[in-house]
Amino acid sequence: MANEFSIDRAPREGVAVLRVSGRLDAKNAQQLMTACQDARGSGGGHVVLNLADVTFVASSGIGTLLALTEEFRDAGGAVHLVSLSDAVTSVVELLNLRQFLNIGVSEQGTLEAIGG
């Protein structure tokens, strides 16, 4: 898996699915915020973030996921994190954030559950 950060939007109607890869840190925190905010409109306030290819998540990356979760929640929607890589899972577990973040197993299952 490459360390270079990228966000690819899956070609689909309805709820946006953003596939994130590489290192999630301060250099790209703002890029992720903006991508999620831009994608919010197409899915009734819901966005799915696929984190399967995230190779490293820094504190700023976790801060971004927390801020996004709260921001979307306040607006009546949600950011759904799916297919967490081991790198993301270990930090989420260590910080005991699983119950705060909306974590799903797969893109498809989460999309079906939210009707997207």
Partner 1 sequence: MFPHWSRRTHPETTLPGGAEQGPETDGPREPDPTARRALGLLALLELSEELGVPRDPSGIADAALFNLLGQYGCTRGALWLLNGGEGPDAVPLRAQGVPAELAVEVGERWARWFRGQGAGAPDPVVVDRIARLSPPPPGVEPAQRAELAVLAPMTAGERVIGILALGPRVGAAEFGAVELEMLRTSLNLLALTMENTTLRNRDLENRRRLRAAAARVRELETSARETTGSTATLRSPVRPTRGELRGVLASIHDERRPGVIAELRELDFSSAADVPPAMFDPDVTKRVVDAMLDDAVRRAPCGARIRLRLEHGADSAGAWVAVEVRDDGPGLPPERLRGIFAGGATGPGGLSLAEAKRLAESMGARVSADSDPERGTVLTLRLPAA
Q: Does 26 help bind partner 1 (rule: CB under 8 A)?
A: yes
Which residue, 19, 27, 26, is CA-closest to 1? 19
Stretch that binds partner 1, among 2-10, 12-20, 36-44, 63-71 (CB under 8 A): 63-71
Q: From the list 2, 14, 34, 59, which residue makes contact with partner 1 (rule: CB under 8 A)?
A: 59
Q: What is the CA radius of gyration of the chain?
A: 13
Q: Does 106 help bind partner 1 (rule: CB under 8 A)?
A: yes
Stretch that binds partner 1, among 3-11, 14-22, 36-44, 67-75 (CB under 8 A): 67-75
Site size for partner 1, by CB under 8 A?
A: 41
Q: From the list 63, 85, 86, 88, which residue makes contact with partner 1 (rule: CB under 8 A)?
A: 63
Classify the C-alpha dihedral 85-87-93-95 as positive or negative: negative
Residues 6+ apart with CB under 8 A from 17: 9, 10, 47, 48, 50, 107, 111
CA distance 116 to 12: 10
Which residue, 63, 50, 45, is CA-closest to 106? 50
Q: Which residues bind partner 1 (CB under 8 A)?
A: 25-27, 29-30, 58-64, 66-67, 69-71, 73-74, 76-78, 84, 91, 94-100, 102-106, 109-110, 112-114
